[in-house]
A and B are shown apart, each in its own frame.
Chain A
Amino acid sequence: MPRHKTDLSAESYDYDDDYEEDDGMTEDDRRQMKAALKQVRQTIGGDIPGVTDADIEETLWYYYFDVEKAVSYILKKHTKASKPKPAPKPKQVVVAGPAPKKDDVGQGFGYGFGARTAVEAGYFLDAPWGNVPTERLGCLIEQLPPVKMGLVGGSGGPKTSKLAALAKARKEKKLAEASGAAEPTGGKPLGVTKERPSISLLSRLSHKSSASSVASTSPSPTPEPSAGRVTPILTTNTNINDKDKTPIGSPKRLQDLDQPRSPVVEEEKCDLKAFKEDLALKAVPSSFATSMFGSRLEFEARFLWADTKTFDILTGKEAAKVQQGFSGPSPDDVVETAQKGMGGAKAKADKNGQADGKGSRDSGAKTAPSPPPSPKLPKAKIDVLKAYGESSEKDHVNFVVVGHVDAGKSTLMGRILYDTGAVDERTLQKFRKEAEQIGKGSFALAWVLDQTHEERSRGVTVDVAVNKFETEKTVFTILDAPGHKDFVPNMIAGAARADFAILVIDASTGAFEAGFHLRGQTKEHTLLIRSMGVHRVIVAVNKLDSVGWDGARFEEIKQQMAQFLSNAGFNEKDIAFVPCSGLEGINVIKKPEEGVIPWYTGPTLLEELDITTKYARPVDKPLRLTVSDIFKGGAQNQPTVYGRIDSGYLQEGDVLLSVPNKEQVTVKSIVINDEPRPWAVAGHNVNLQISGFDELHLRAGDLLCHPTSPLQPLKCFQLKLLAFETLTPMAVDIHRGHLHAPGRISGLLQTYDKSNGTVTKKKPRHVAAGNLASVMVELVAGAAIPVEAGMKIVLRSNGQTVAAGIIEK
């Protein structure tokens, strides 16, 4: 990085400076040193042994080339042979006080910094750590109270600064005058101001630098420096207290000052009364201060918030007690030891593990994949059965709408939704406009349920559309099944969730026949819903407006259908026929106008729907929830599964088991028809917000149950079925709700008589259409499917429903 020019110059200057400081000598100094050394050598001659050049040089440097002083020092030192060779100057570390601002005070105030750098660089280089020879150890000299004398030079010849010299001269002059101690009362003219003959402040200021010299030259006993510690002076000095009384410059004051004080100033018992009397300067608070302090002007116990800051000096027993507290290991030590111990144990275990290899790996495998903690919902469990029994909510009823393609199922349902107010006028207007634009004006109502683009452009329902509406007594869920033969599996899925069915029949000329004969879906659907366990069916004879509300046409259809339905196994009382027109909305919700249907006096379609017996729900059976849809969770919402509870019940916080993948999921919340509920029972179509599941492992057709009563998925089961087509051992598709899996009929066990159920033939070669039989069904692709005894299954083959039945075992 290129440096700034000024930086460079500044730095180079610094280097020069540093160099000279480190060396300690300038070129000039060296020259002087050489000359001085020569001189000294000449003076002392050869009569003193053991004086090295280095010694002389050091001495010279110390006295700064004062040859005379150096010689006297060397002679003095080396003639006293008994004494060990002392260093030219005792190494001292003077406890540094704050230096005054040099610029303000001036150089003469002499906090000589040079004297403090006691140890040269490298002095301890060859000394081992912690074992420094005693002669090399410095000693910490305590800060001595100043001795009030003039500057003390290093030896005989005084070498003082100009300022100090002036001060000294002044002092001497004053001593000579020996004037009286009378203090001036008025202003002090300069020069007579100070009666104190003793010291100038200049010398006092310099006491720090000369402290060591004072120690050696002071006539009075010096304090022991061996302790090497500085005791803080915390006590009141008598002198200060007395100052106000004692005139400055009085002999007492002088005496005090001249006596070298012990660094620990003599401790004085605090005589508060005596002190207070001396407080000449103490003032009473002003009104401002009074208002500032308020009631705190006098200290009271409650204002002494800093109570904790006083410390007792512990004596005897107490001190011992405190000491005891530190005899044991500290809490940190305890923790550390414990950790060490644990580490050791771990190491040991590892060792053992290596010894027998396998054991260690086993334990590792056990501990490593800890099961993810399932979220706990601390909600209290509800007795769902009791709550269900007590609940006064409307009955929830699902019905499926089936019928041949283009029978008008979606339009009829659209009409119901529109007329009950579940769909608003505006939406329908929009649909009308859009439908007319693509030339399908009559489909507007159907579009309420057919919402995908494909369904609208093709004009057929593809998937089961779910919607709901309410009457006074009941909440109905519409399952609008597709009529097209290509989407029969979807229709099966829808029918699986239904309590009853509306069979929509197109009454227009030829349409009924097309649906009813020649493999029309009217027949197939009827058989399917029957085999899916639907007992009640309402036959809505639609599009009667196209035949001019012909009563004879209605009767004809009614006769044929009634016969067919009773053949399929429906009870006569569970069958109802309603003439209506979905497109015009006649006899759907509204009663037809007088004279439109003179031959019909029965209820409307909606009234017929409302005449529903309360369906017995298998609430007390183990929970079985068939998943029909899964919505993956986003960043904000939980993943949701949609499905119908076939049996049993569940509540928020339940942990459920998915079959066949055996994943555990937790129910976060339950939503039924867009309303959150704390619980749900059989018959409800529910949205479950769940957590703790992997989307890959759950899909439509799976089944949720309680882990306490799990469903065992089957690979091979015995099925009692009603054959729609001739059955031989053949490949079939197994359908149950949304679940479908490839399988095959592996064996035909026996056929039954339809009327009384007796076995007619064992191990038949084939099962003729319309016969009851028991067959073995196997799954082709390995995985088992979540079915159990009592479930209804549909078998399809080559796009046709060939049989439907109940799993026996």
Chain B
Amino acid sequence: MALTDRRRVNGPALPTSIPFYDTPAPAPTVSRSPTELRKIFLKTSLTPPASGSAFYELTPPSTLKLTTSVYGPRPLPPSAGFSPTARVTAELKFAPFSTRGERRGYVRDGLERELSLQLQIAISGMVRASAYPKSGIDVFVTVLDCEGRIEEMIGVDAAEGEGERASLGAMQVLTGAITCASTAIADAGIECVDLVAAGMAALVEAKDGKDMVVMDPSPLDGWQVRAAVLVGYMAARDEITLVWSRGEVGVEEFTGVMESAVEVATKVRGVVNDAVRERLVALLKARGKKEGKKAITEDVEMTG
């Protein structure tokens, strides 16, 4: 047992048999209306040692689940050199068990690298980096469960079919990661100019052969996705921090899809606000009890 790797989440010690279902998986069906968004459960302060943390999940039948922990602002290591502003780094990691059917390796792969980069771009705009010179803010996102199959997730260049749908899964992970990370940063008490919420919309081929825009598409919905657009959106400032699109789309169509994505992000923002506020309210209540309600009546600005 001395050789057990304790640094990682290890698999079961004993072999387990893979469940085998002889009934074929039901064909994906579209059960939602194209404008209906899935509900989100978002909650802060899951990880005690982190400065801030959040948990994000979509309601079943969607399975996306991820956690974010934020460490910082903390001093940069000497090797990092001088930085007059805070350095925001983001790392997105898939848990080995996060994908259906096949375990993922521990080693960081291309997809994780790409998603990490996008995440960093999306969230670094919301932090008031100038308030934290010589500091680092490290954001770690762990994907606990995701939708779609992993080996096809990277197939972004495929024009249609599985490949495109699979890439939708990767984008959806990033959507959740941005929203969750933004919440966790706010939970860490880091000064922000606004909060980022992410939204996604896709251009799909309807049954009648026409294109239509679907908000918050899921890879499980079975759409024939032509293109998908993800935006990181700061609603209070009306600013976009990230646009990520996949597939082939014309300019006019692109605009429409992006508008929809922003709309989704705006709605998601309500959940983010509530999640951030939740702890603060509890905190103020606790202090109000302690200090005879003094704290709550005082002019305390609420972030959101």
Contacts and interface: CB of A to CB of B under 8 A. Distances in A.
A186 B245 CA distance: 23
B55 to A, nearest CB: 6
Interface string B74-105: 00000000000000000000000000000000
A283 B255 contact: no
Given A166-B251, A270-B304, A275-B273, A187 B282 contact: no
Interface string B283-294: 110110100000
Interface in A91-113: 97-98, 100-101, 104-105, 108-109
B29 interface: no
User: What is the size category of the interface that chain B forms with chain A?
Assistant: 35 or more
Contact of B304 (A145, A186, A236): A236
A186 B35 CA distance: 7
B149 interface: no
A194 interface: yes
A35 B236 CA distance: 48
A64 to B, nearest CB: 24
A223 to B, nearest CB: 14
A233 B236 contact: yes
- Secondary structure of the A side of the interface? loop
Q: Give the interface size class of chain A.
A: 35 or more
Given A288-B57, A312-B295, A270 B258 contact: no
Contacts of B241: 97-98, 100
Nearest to A235: B301
A293 B242 contact: no
A201 interface: yes
Contacts of A109: 243
A304 B245 contact: no
Given A188-B212, A189-B212, A304-B279, A293 B258 contact: no
A299 B121 contact: no
B228 to A, nearest CB: 12
Interface stretch (B1-9, B12-20, B44-52): B44-52
A348 interface: no
A235 B302 contact: yes
A113 to B, nearest CB: 16
Interface string B232-272: 00011111111111000001110110111011001111110
Contact of B59 (A234, A235, A286, A304): A286
Contacts of A243: 235, 266-267
A48 interface: no
A275 B168 CA distance: 31
A237 interface: yes
B128 to A, nearest CB: 5
A311 to B, nearest CB: 8
Contact of A234 (B145, B284, B303): B303
A281 B271 contact: yes
Given A190-B203, A312-B298, 11 more contacts: A101-B244, A190-B253, A241-B270, A276-B274, A282-B42, A284-B59, A296-B45, A299-B45, A306-B51, A309-B189, A310-B283
A313 B301 CA distance: 8
A281 B267 contact: yes
Given A279-B274, A304-B286, A98 B125 contact: yes
Contacts of A315: 298-299
A312 B255 contact: no
Contacts of A297: 43
Nearest to A163: B251
A91 to B, nearest CB: 20
B124 interface: yes
Contacts of B211: 189-190
A422 interface: no
B213 A188 contact: yes
Interface of B: 33-35, 37-43, 45-46, 48, 51-52, 55, 57-60, 65, 118, 121, 124-125, 128, 145, 187-189, 191-194, 203, 206, 210-214, 235-245, 251-253, 255-256, 258-260, 262-263, 266-271, 273-274, 277-284, 286-287, 289, 295, 298-304
Closest 6 CB pairs of A and B: A299-B282, A98-B125, A283-B39, A270-B302, A187-B212, A309-B189
7 contacts: A98-B121, A189-B212, A275-B273, A281-B270, A282-B39, A282-B41, A282-B270
A313 B235 CA distance: 25
A202 B256 CA distance: 10
Contacts of A265: 236
Contacts of A305: 45, 48
B243 A283 contact: no
B256 to A, nearest CB: 5
Contacts of B251: 108, 163, 166
Residue picked from B43, B121, B236, B289, most chain A C-beta under 10 Å: B236
Contacts of B260: 188, 193
B283 to A, nearest CB: 5
Contacts of B242: 98, 100-101
Nearest to B261: A201
Contacts of B191: 232, 234
Interface string A173-207: 00000000000011111110110100011101100
Contacts of B58: 283
B224 to A, nearest CB: 13
A97 B270 contact: no
A486 B33 CA distance: 121
A284 B214 CA distance: 24
B268 A193 contact: no
B214 to A, nearest CB: 7
A292 interface: yes
A146 interface: yes
A147 to B, nearest CB: 10
Contacts of B303: 234-235
A104 B271 contact: no
A681 B193 CA distance: 84
A285 B43 contact: yes
Interface in A312-338: 312-313, 315
A229 to B, nearest CB: 11
Contact of B46 (A105, A188, A293): A293
